[in-house]
A and B are shown apart, each in its own frame.
Chain A
């Protein structure tokens, strides 16, 4: 019994390395979940969607008696084994009477309980049908947030007046407007409007005002209609090989993230301008265990347009940044149209899920990547069909998961894995993948060492061990091969990623961790040789992190990190970073805030170090620290009235020994780069 009752404990506590003293901290969760994503893919990725999701479930807790598990999966830290146990417990014992009954369910431990409690409750009122329409406005909650930000130094792109040259067309102001309307948890309206720095506002390509508009109406739990979204939405099925739009973490930073927990249909509420769908979709429950999700999407994408000899339109590459600041970026904006339509069928019975997805992606122009050897198997043409089959299930102490996806007429992609609780203190995670080089899906965000799940074979094995209550060890080894060429790698290549981390925790008081990570990948040699050569690039990271809770208001946090970079033919680099954070968060005060002071030194961008930064609400990021200098920021939150909040942020980089920061249009004179952000949130009924 003891074995069983602890069966998910270790997996559950894998996230606890972000340590949550007494109360769960959204920022800590986001830092832990999103860390590798920023390093491997996009440092500018916006984690609003996750931040908002956590905040939403804090304010509208998940009803444990009604959930089918999908909302718990959205939290991203609840182990699938535990979700299975919870549903089985409810099936066997009936409705839960109190959230504290969770303690009786296999797999729950004190830490997981502490994390989960703010997000769950039992017994909530019935469905929307019991509410009259006129009550919607009186009982719903409105949430309006406006954010403004600006870099204080003038960048070169704004100074250029010559219309023949590339330049920033708009102002350096950043603006973001976010409106939400929630009625209980069953009806939500979301609107986002965004202008990036350098983009025009009510003129030029952005004649309609903001550069990016996004909106959705979301309803759920209405009879047979489990979820319905009109507007922007995200679909997440299986392991992300075929259809995983919206928030995806690729490889993920925790062992638990290795098994993706698909949330199905959800509204898309992020300000990232790529990887979402726009149109309508619904999840309809045909039977209690069987649901179908038809979806249709039409939207405009960015792309570099060219004209072929026969005057047909060609697209060299699709835009991935959502930035439309320069004449060429503005010209590529909304250059081509994309239709996506398809169907998902999912059968879920207690601890077992089986699903299938098929969808077609079409463009109004032909995609034709540059004729390079490494793009030989890349997608070409105007349309493609994708199909996938996926499964997951729990048998005793093992959670199995996997997906097989096919680009019709071309390649396949396979991913299979298991999470095993070998002992109540020891968990093992295994994952094997084989992605053919001809496989392609535009919504592919599966676990991969490369930037997408294509042209890769690999095996990942990870262990988490809880040495008593205080010490935890996590380690993994991922070995992979890329059978075909890649961007900047002119030969088939391979690599590895290895991590080992110890964490020591003083209950509710402090935490210290030490991490070592080693990564090896191949890259074209920088040497000027008569022949093309591919050499190994080795990156090592050593991190010592400490947090200390002084009392229920003050918290300290400090980190020292070293990075080591070695590539044949280039100088070996060692970079370092030190920072100290002071966090002031009283339970009841009009003011809260945090401050960071950091020093860093890296010989070049190659030995750069990423570090999570606190920001105004929802705007968390992992900026890169490189070169030599000092970083400092201060965030202040002021509660003006009960439902009106104001955030202020000032952040600056001061570099040593330079008289210009940045490159190209982004460059500014002087050795400093500072940003100011103001955010106002008004909530009203």
Chain B
């Protein structure tokens, strides 16, 4: 048990490990602040405004293959006349040792053809069995601006007010992300700058190439921590399967698989 704890503490010193990144975004270097899709629920909720179908998504992630740390995620996006709504639930942890649960409800609304705004209200729970449980709430805000149809800028402020747990050691990440997305034919290029309140700045870049109408290849990297990423997406009828992997030079690989279904 102590060994498990140590591993967890070592690899969760960066808050990002506990921040869920959608499968597609993970494959693109952890970028996504300027993208629009169901995964926007995990990066910048303002991207949800372009959703025109009800989409359900579930994902499973293994944090470093040699550990037992896992993450499970469920996302739901619903377009409505008043704006788009979304729900996300994400669990992260080690069974019977450490479990973080994050939930959120999102409301995203376009203001004209170029601007989109969104807010998210979140619930966080950190449970350490045989020790204690703590809960917290937070709020996020996001914005996207379409400079041109092929060029988007996004800003996402996660955990406004830097809320946190009071009774246990644990972090509710608070970050400011600014991202750019650019579509170039069959290619989407993304780049994000992520600043967190521990005063670290991370630069990330990602790329997606549509090999065919139903197969996408993705790759990316982040500078801090230095990691490389790769993945692909496959569409079949109403379903999209995304696979992504993070390559950490020392800790190894962290694969994730997600399945989305559009109604």
Q: Mark A434-467, 1 if CB is under 8 A from B, else 0.
A: 0000000000000000000000000101010100
Contacts of B250 on A, CB cut-off 8 Å? 494
Which candidate, B106-114, B138-146, B180-188, is the interface stretch facing chain A?
B180-188
Select which of A425, A463, A465, A494 is within 8 A of B249 by beta carbon.
Answer: A494
**A535 CA / B187 CA spacing, docked (Å):** 39
Which residues 231-263 of B have a CB within 8 angstroms of A?
A: 247, 249-250
Q: A494-B249, A496-B226 are in contact. Are A422 and B221 (CB under 8 A)?
A: no
Contacts of A422 on B, CB cut-off 8 Å? 184-187, 207, 209
**A531 CA / B23 CA spacing, docked (Å):** 43
Q: Is the CB of B249 within 8 A of A420?
A: no
Q: A423-B184, A425-B184, A496-B226 are in contact. Are A477 and B221 (CB under 8 A)?
A: yes
Q: A423-B186, A496-B226 are in contact. Are A481 and B249 (CB under 8 A)?
A: yes
Q: Mark A397-428, 1 if CB is under 8 A from B, else 0.
A: 00000000000000000000000101111101
Interface size counted on chain B using CB atoms at 8 A: 15
Secondary structure dominating the interface of A:
strand
Contacts of A459 on B, CB cut-off 8 Å? 228, 247
Contacts of A461 on B, CB cut-off 8 Å? 219, 221, 228
Q: Mark B184-200, 1 if CB is under 8 A from A, else 0.
A: 11110100000000000
A624 within 8 A of B: no
**A477 CA / B224 CA spacing, docked (Å):** 13
Select which of A420, A423, A428, A479 is within 8 A of B228 by beta carbon.
Answer: A479
Contacts of B187 on A, CB cut-off 8 Å? 422-423, 426
Which residues 211-234 of B have a CB within 8 angstroms of A?
A: 219, 221, 223, 226, 228
Of all chain B residues, the one with the shortest Cβ separation from A492 is B250
Contacts of A176 on B, CB cut-off 8 Å? none
A650 within 8 A of B: no
Q: Is the CB of B221 within 8 A of A3?
A: no
Task: Determine how close the nearest CB of chain A comes to the CB of B97; give it in whole angstroms.
Answer: 30
Of all chain B residues, the one with the shortest Cβ separation from A458 is B249
Q: How large is the interface on A (under 10, 10 to 19, 20 to 34, 35 or more residues)?
A: 10 to 19
Contacts of B189 on A, CB cut-off 8 Å? 426, 465
Task: Determine how close the nearest CB of chain A comes to the CB of B203; give it in whole angstroms.
Answer: 10
Q: A420-B209, A428-B207, A459-B228 are in contact. Are A479 and B249 (CB under 8 A)?
A: yes
Task: Determine how close the nearest CB of chain B comes to the CB of A258; give it in whole angstroms.
Answer: 15
**A577 CA / B102 CA spacing, docked (Å):** 53
Task: Determine how close the nearest CB of chain A comes to the CB of B114; give it in whole angstroms.
Answer: 22
Select which of B185, B221, B223, B226 is within 8 A of A423 by beta carbon.
Answer: B185
**A430 CA / B219 CA spacing, docked (Å):** 10
Contacts of B221 on A, CB cut-off 8 Å? 461, 477, 479
**A95 CA / B247 CA spacing, docked (Å):** 49
Task: Determine how close the nearest CB of chain A comes to the CB of B76; give it in whole angstroms.
Answer: 33
**A3 CA / B209 CA spacing, docked (Å):** 14
Contacts of A420 on B, CB cut-off 8 Å? 209
Task: Determine how close the nearest CB of chain B comes to the CB of A82; give it in whole angstroms.
Answer: 20
**A600 CA / B29 CA spacing, docked (Å):** 39
Task: Determine how close the nearest CB of chain A comes to the CB of B212; give it in whole angstroms.
Answer: 12
Task: Determine how close the nearest CB of chain A comes to the CB of B60; give it in whole angstroms.
Answer: 25
Q: Is the CB of A479 within 8 A of B226?
A: yes
Which residues 600-648 of A have a CB within 8 angstroms of B?
A: none
Task: Determine how close the nearest CB of chain A comes to the CB of B43; give it in whole angstroms.
Answer: 21
**A430 CA / B189 CA spacing, docked (Å):** 16
Task: Determine how close the nearest CB of chain B comes to the CB of A536; give it in whole angstroms.
Answer: 11
Contacts of A3 on B, CB cut-off 8 Å? 185
**A191 CA / B247 CA spacing, docked (Å):** 51
Task: Determine how close the nearest CB of chain B comes to the CB of A496; give it in whole angstroms.
Answer: 6
**A63 CA / B219 CA spacing, docked (Å):** 41
**A3 CA / B184 CA spacing, docked (Å):** 12
Which residues 481-511 of A have a CB within 8 angstroms of B?
A: 481, 494, 496, 498
Of all chain B residues, the one with the shortest Cβ separation from A3 is B185
Task: Determine how close the nearest CB of chain B comes to the CB of A455; give it in whole angstroms.
Answer: 15
Contacts of B207 on A, CB cut-off 8 Å? 422, 428, 463
**A423 CA / B184 CA spacing, docked (Å):** 7
**A494 CA / B249 CA spacing, docked (Å):** 8
**A494 CA / B185 CA spacing, docked (Å):** 36
**A379 CA / B236 CA spacing, docked (Å):** 53
Which residues 206-243 of A have a CB within 8 angstroms of B?
A: none
Task: Determine how close the nearest CB of chain B comes to the CB of A478; give it in whole angstroms.
Answer: 10
**A428 CA / B206 CA spacing, docked (Å):** 12
Of all chain A residues, the one with the shortest Cβ separation from B221 is A477
Which residues 87-122 of B have a CB within 8 angstroms of A?
A: none
Of all chain B residues, the one with the shortest Cβ separation from A463 is B207
Q: Is the CB of A426 within 8 A of B184?
A: yes
Contacts of A428 on B, CB cut-off 8 Å? 207, 209
Of all chain B residues, the one with the shortest Cβ separation from A424 is B185
Contacts of B228 on A, CB cut-off 8 Å? 459, 461, 477, 479
**A425 CA / B186 CA spacing, docked (Å):** 11
**A228 CA / B249 CA spacing, docked (Å):** 46
Contacts of B184 on A, CB cut-off 8 Å? 422-423, 425-426
Contacts of A494 on B, CB cut-off 8 Å? 249-250
Contacts of B209 on A, CB cut-off 8 Å? 420, 422, 428
**A378 CA / B207 CA spacing, docked (Å):** 40
**A312 CA / B207 CA spacing, docked (Å):** 59
**A496 CA / B203 CA spacing, docked (Å):** 15
Task: Determine how close the nearest CB of chain B comes to the CB of A660; give it in whole angstroms.
Answer: 42
Task: Determine how close the nearest CB of chain A comes to the CB of B89; give it in whole angstroms.
Answer: 34
Task: Determine how close the nearest CB of chain A comes to the CB of B132; give it in whole angstroms.
Answer: 39
Contacts of A479 on B, CB cut-off 8 Å? 221, 226, 228, 249
Task: Determine how close the nearest CB of chain A comes to the CB of B175; give it in whole angstroms.
Answer: 22
Of all chain A residues, the one with the shortest Cβ separation from B247 is A459
Contacts of A477 on B, CB cut-off 8 Å? 221, 228
**A428 CA / B205 CA spacing, docked (Å):** 13
A-B contact pairs, 26 of them (CB 8 A): A3-B185, A420-B209, A422-B184, A422-B185, A422-B186, A422-B209, A423-B186, A423-B187, A426-B184, A426-B187, A426-B189, A428-B207, A430-B219, A459-B247, A461-B228, A463-B207, A465-B189, A477-B221, A477-B228, A479-B221, A479-B249, A481-B249, A494-B249, A494-B250, A496-B226, A498-B223
Known: A422-B185, A494-B249. 4 other contacts (CB 8 A): A422-B186, A426-B189, A463-B207, A479-B249
